[in-house]
Amino acid sequence: MNRRDSIKSILLGSLAGGVALQGCSTEGASEVAPKEITFPDYGRTSKEQLRDKVLLNEVFFNEHEIATIAVLCDIILPSNENFGSATDAEVPAFVEFIVKDIEEYQLPLRGGIMWLDNFSNKLYNKEFISCDELEQKNICDQIAYPEETELELLPGEKFFTNMRNLTLTGYYTSKMGIEDLGYKGNGPNIWDGIPAEVLEKHGLKYDEEWLAKCVNQENRSNIAVWDDDGNLTT
């Protein structure tokens, strides 16, 4: 497994199902051609499919960069008693993809990682990922709170904000994150208004005049018929 392949499998194995496993089983066989990364179709046009394929098979971050991203992701969103961490939800793979998809992220993130290491070197004479947990948190504490950041650390704040945005968006659009958030939709159902206990909690109620204009879900399957004045008779 060459370097390119190993990063690919760290990043994209999860996206691509079996690829990571296959990649590992060929470790040492450097002549093996890189595996093509694919992604299950989600209703793409052929042009879009092609673009996705190209992006999926490019590697943007080097090993150090992606390792730094993974550490930051889990500082931003560690696991708790019910749900896994950002890396458990495969957020680094999402970050790798999105910087290729939205190229405006590339320079700020790459430069941001360098800034972070510079800062870390100054404080502790080692790169960020080699710092211990306390040291890492001491660094993050100085750049994680907008409007409290010292002027010369503003590039760090900007980078951390970018990383927090992408970590949260990556997590809350993952299967785990959606469950954590508690989103209940995206399936066939019959909307029949706000649950009674929610109305009560908010001190609201539907007024009768309005409800009279609303659908009676019991006869939604009856084909609509109107009288000449536009009154529904079914």
Interactions with other proteins, residue window 171-210 (CB under 8 A): 171-175, 177-178, 180-195, 197-199, 201-202, 204, 206, 210
Distance between CA atoms of residues 129 and 71, nearest Å = 7
Contact between 135 and other proteins (CB under 8 A)?
A: no
Among 29, 33, 134, 224, binds other proteins (CB under 8 A): 224
Residues binding other proteins: number (CB under 8 A): 84
Which tokens sit at 165?
């945005």
Nearer Cβ to other proteins (32/55)? 55
CB of 129 to other proteins, least distance (A): 16
Spell out, one character per residue from 17 to 56, where the chain touches other proteins: x when CB under 8 A holds, - when not. ----------------------xxxxx-x--x--xx--xx
Q: How far is the CB of 116 from other proteins (least distance, A)?
A: 14
The tokens describing 106, both together, are 């590339």
The encoded tokens of residue 201 equal 């909690």
Q: Which span (22-30, 57-65, 111-119, 167-175) binds other proteins, by CB under 8 A? A: 167-175
Distance (Å, rounded) from C-alpha 191 to C-alpha 170?
Answer: 29
**Closer residue to other proteins (CB): 122 or 213:** 213
Tokens standing for residue 214: 């609303």
Q: How far is CA 108 from CA 50, 75, 168, in A?
A: 27, 19, 18
CB of 219 to other proteins, least distance (A): 7
Pick from 119, 126, 164, 208 the residue near other proteins by CB under 8 A. Answer: 164
Q: Which helix (H) or strand (E) holds 95?
A: helix 91-101
Cα separation, 158 vs 72, whole angstroms:
14
Q: Closer to other proteins at the Cβ: 27 or 103?
A: 103
What is the Cα–Cα distance from 140 to 23, expressed in whole angstroms? 35
Using CB under 8 A as the criterion, what x/- string covers residues 77-116 for binding other proteins? xx-x--x----------x--xx--xx--------------
Q: Burial of 231 by CB count in 10 Å (0-12 exposed, 13-18 middle, 19+ buried)? A: exposed
Instruction: Report, in Å, the least distance between residue 73 CB and other proteins.
Output: 10
How many Å apart are CA 89 and CA 74, to the nearest integer? 10
Window of 2-10, 63-71, 118-126, 170-178 that interacts with other proteins by CB under 8 A = 170-178
Our finding on whether 61 is near other proteins (CB under 8 A) is no
- In DSSP terms, 232 is beta-bridged to 226
Phi, psi of 192 (to 5 degrees): -125, 35
